[in-house]
Amino acid sequence: MKSFKLFILMTLLTGLLAAPFRASAEDAKKSDKYPLKTCVVSDEKLGGDMGEPYVFTYKDKKIKDDSGREVRLCCKSCLKDFNKEPAKYIKKIDEAEKAAKAKK
């Protein structure tokens, strides 16, 4: 009986803890400022047949207090290639950002 109560408690706690994460993920989708619809490494469409894109924040260690920037890859295996030449791929995102701003 004791373990059953614990189980209920754990279920409730996990639900409470998971809620804010879920909300922030939805907010990120709403304010979608990422300029590219493709993976910078493979040029594959993001969120297509490959499923959910792999999203992470890249921080340039050479820049002090770099707040980081969002990078979206079509899959996690592209991360290896990204890490080989991060500057090259960041530049791609920069250029896409500039192009998106120029349109407006």
Note the residues at the interface with Zn ion (CB under 5 A): 39, 42, 74-75, 78
* Distance, CA of 104 to chain centre: 25
C-alpha 73/C-alpha 9 separation (Å) is: 37
Residue 74 and residue 50 in contact, taking contact as beta carbons nearer than 8 Å: yes
* Closest to Zn ion by CB, 11 or 57: 57
Report which residue's Cβ sits closest to Zn ion. Answer: 78
Shortest Cβ distance from residue 61 to Zn ion (Å)? 23
DSSP state of 74: S
Q: How far is the CB of 79 from Zn ion (least distance, A)?
A: 8
| 96 close to 35: Cβ distance less than 8 angstroms | yes
- Taking the complex as a whole, the smallest distance from the CB of residue 89 to Zn ion amounts, in Å, to 12
Q: Which is nearer to Zn ion, 39 or 71 (CB)?
A: 39
